[in-house]
């Protein structure tokens, strides 16, 4: 198990970004740096921590956790849909098939919860019963299991933008995605969610909600980006859920909600400059990421020495990419 000291030692040298000019112009998402040509996308998962669509700081080992956890899930779920993963030449790097992105993110939710304005709970307590075009019954309680998982799609915003809510009808009538392709995305997202829930349950976790991204590769729908990570999903602890739910207490979470709550306590909800993360928070978040990885995969996380920029370049050389 990773120690507090290993995390604290790594803080000054975390992977914030990586420049590899030989690969062309660096592109950046909130968390990943990437380079691509016509066929491949080299995705380097950094240690950047985002929430509220803002970079809040950096968490040691987070990039490696996200990347390796995604690799685990892509392997587990490739029987449901082909995914972009070609190889993982380094703990922080995935080589993916470079796709034309589908401009809609598929969010699947098994429970009614959340604190942000895009959450269904936010709309529900404000009296709405048709949310994202889906009808919800009266009398639901926060954190209650839905009778079946629902899909709440959003736009995939350009850099710096916020994802906007969509309905199935809007997506199809605006021509963002054809009806045929959208139906395939729906079926796939639900199948992935079901399999993910089963695997999480065996690990003592509940997959509460998650986001999937898809792309088109040689005309075919494939899954891209990341999968069932604490950045793209909410996880709760199974053991304590029922009792807490019955007592109107918040479930024990194992994801970014913990971080959102810390910021909320500081009075920050995403506007303006975020307060700086203190060391205690960084350690707690890093441990959670590592723990989620270990619980889900059943493998011990391999702690490494920072800095890692040179290691990444060496591994890209060995893989014949540099
Ligand atoms: N195989 C792929 N083909 C094309 N685009 C991809 C692929 N995998 C991931 N992406 C895109 O690359 C970017 C990865 O960076 P990330 O930090 O995750 O961005 P974001 O801030 O949108 O979450 C995202 O825009 C994602 O949609
Ligand atoms: Mg992303």
**pLDDT digit string, tens, across residues 139-177:** 999 999 999 999 999 998 776 677 889 999 999 999 999
Q: Whose CA is nearest to atom 10 of ligand 1?
A: 225
Q: Please, is 178 exposed, middle or buried when counting C-beta atoms within 10 Å of its C-beta (0-12, 13-18, 19+)?
A: exposed
Q: Whose CA is nearest to atom 6 of ligand 1?
A: 225
Share of the chain above pLDDT 70, in %: 99
3-state secondary structure (DSSP) of residue 93: strand
Average per-residue pLDDT in the chain? 95
Determine the distance separating the centroid of ligand 1 and the alpha carbon of 230, expressed in angstroms: 16
Q: Is the CB of 96 under 6 A from ligand 1?
A: yes
Tell me the torsion sign for CA atoms 3, 237, 125, 170: positive
For residues 94-100, give the mean pLDDT: 97
Q: Whose CA is nearest to atom 27 of ligand 1?
A: 225
Whether 6 has a pLDDT exceeding 80, the answer reads yes
Determine the distance separating the centroid of ligand 2 and the alpha carbon of 102, expressed in angstroms: 13
Determine the distance separating the centroid of ligand 2 and the alpha carbon of 15, expressed in angstroms: 17
Rounded Cα distance between 161 and 158, Å, is: 6
Ligand nearest to the CA of 96: 1
CA angle 76, 79, 84 (to 5 degrees): 75
Rounded Cα distance between 207 and 36, Å, is: 32
Residue with tokens 């307060």: 275
Nearest to 229 by CA among 214, 201, 215, 209: 209
Share of the chain above pLDDT 90, in %: 89
3-state secondary structure (DSSP) of residue 225: coil
Q: Which residues pair with 262 in a beta bridge?
A: none
Determine the distance separating the centroid of ligand 1 and the alpha carbon of 151, expressed in angstroms: 20
Whether 269 has a pLDDT exceeding 90, the answer reads no
Q: Are 213 and 102 in contact (CB under 8 A)?
A: yes
Residue 157: predicted pLDDT: 75
Ligand nearest to the CA of 103: 1
For residues 260-267, give the mean pLDDT: 89
Rounded Cα distance between 46 and 13, Å, is: 12
Atom of ligand 1 lying closest to residue 98 CA: 3
Q: Is the CB of 211 under 6 A from ligand 1?
A: no
Determine the distance separating the centroid of ligand 1 and the alpha carbon of 1, expressed in angstroms: 30
Nearest to 192 by CA among 285, 298, 69, 74: 74
Residue 254: predicted pLDDT: 84
For residues 264-274, give the mean pLDDT: 90
pLDDT in tens, 50-94: 988 899 999 999 999 999 999 999 999 999 999 999 999 999 999
Split at pLDDT 50, 70, 90, the class of 258 is confident
CATH number of this structure's domain 101-246? 3.30.470.20
Whether 220 has a pLDDT exceeding 80, the answer reads yes
Determine the distance separating the centroid of ligand 1 and the alpha carbon of 100, expressed in angstroms: 11
Rounded Cα distance between 7 and 287, Å, is: 8
Determine the distance separating the centroid of ligand 1 and the alpha carbon of 267, expressed in angstroms: 30
Residue 160: predicted pLDDT: 66
Fold that domain 4-99+276-318 belongs to in CATH: Phosphorylase Kinase; domain 1 (3.30.200)
Q: Is the CB of 26 under 6 A from ligand 1?
A: no
Domain ranges of the chain: 4-99+276-318, 101-246
Nearest to 238 by CA among 197, 208, 205, 200: 205
Nearest to 81 by CA among 225, 209, 220, 234: 220
Whether the model clears a pTM of 0.95, i.e. scores above it, the answer is yes
Highest average pLDDT, of 40-54, 66-80, 253-267, comes from 66-80
Helices (H), ranges, the chain: 4-10, 62-77, 120-125, 168-173, 179-202, 238-246, 257-265, 279-297, 309-318
Termini Cα distance of the chain: 33
Whether 46 has a pLDDT exceeding 80, the answer reads yes
Q: Is the CB of 29 under 6 A from ligand 1?
A: yes
Q: Are 222 and 81 in contact (CB under 8 A)?
A: yes
Q: Whose CA is nearest to atom 15 of ligand 1?
A: 29
Rounded Cα distance between 107 and 148, Å, is: 14
Q: Is the CB of 213 under 6 A from ligand 1?
A: yes
């Amino acid at each position: 198990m990773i120690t507090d000291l290993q995390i604290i030692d790594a803080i000054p040298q975390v992977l914030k970004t990586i420049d590899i000019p030989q690969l062309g112009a660096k592109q950046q998402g909130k968390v990943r740096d990437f380079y691509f040509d016509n066929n491949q996308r080299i995705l380097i998962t950094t240690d950047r921590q985002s929430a509220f669509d803002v970079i809040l700081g950096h968490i040691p080992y987070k990039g490696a956790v996200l990347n390796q956890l995604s690799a685990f899930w892509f392997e587990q779920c490739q029987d449901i849909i082909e995914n972009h993963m070609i190889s993982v030449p380094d703990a922080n790097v995935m080589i993916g098939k470079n796709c034309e992105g589908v401009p809609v993110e598929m969010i699947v939710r098994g429970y009614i919860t959340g604190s942000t304005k895009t959450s269904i709970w936010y709309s529900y307590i404000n009296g709405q019963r048709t949310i994202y075009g889906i009808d919800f019954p009266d009398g639901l309680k926060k954190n209650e299991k839905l009778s079946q998982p629902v899909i709440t799609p959003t736009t995939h915003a350009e850099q710096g933008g916020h994802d906007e809510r969509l309905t199935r009808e809007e997506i199809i009538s605006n021509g963002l995605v054809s009806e045929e392709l959208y139906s395939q995305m729906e079926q796939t997202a639900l199948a992935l969610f079901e399999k993910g829930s089963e695997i999480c349950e065996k690990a003592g976790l509940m997959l509460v909600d998650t986001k999937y991204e898809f792309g088109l590769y040689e005309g075919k729908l494939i899954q891209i980006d990341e999968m069932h990570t604490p950045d793209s999903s909410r996880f709760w602890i199974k053991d304590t859920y029922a009792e807490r739910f019955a007592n109107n207490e918040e479930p024990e979470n194992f994801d970014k909600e913990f971080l959102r709550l810390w910021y909320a306590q500081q009075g920050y909800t995403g506007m303006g400059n975020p307060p700086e993360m203190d060391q205690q928070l960084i350690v707690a978040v890093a441990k959670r990421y590592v723990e989620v990885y270990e619980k889900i995969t059943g493998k011990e996380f391999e702690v490494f020495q920072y800095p890692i920029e040179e290691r990444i370049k060496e591994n890209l050389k060995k893989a014949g990419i540099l």
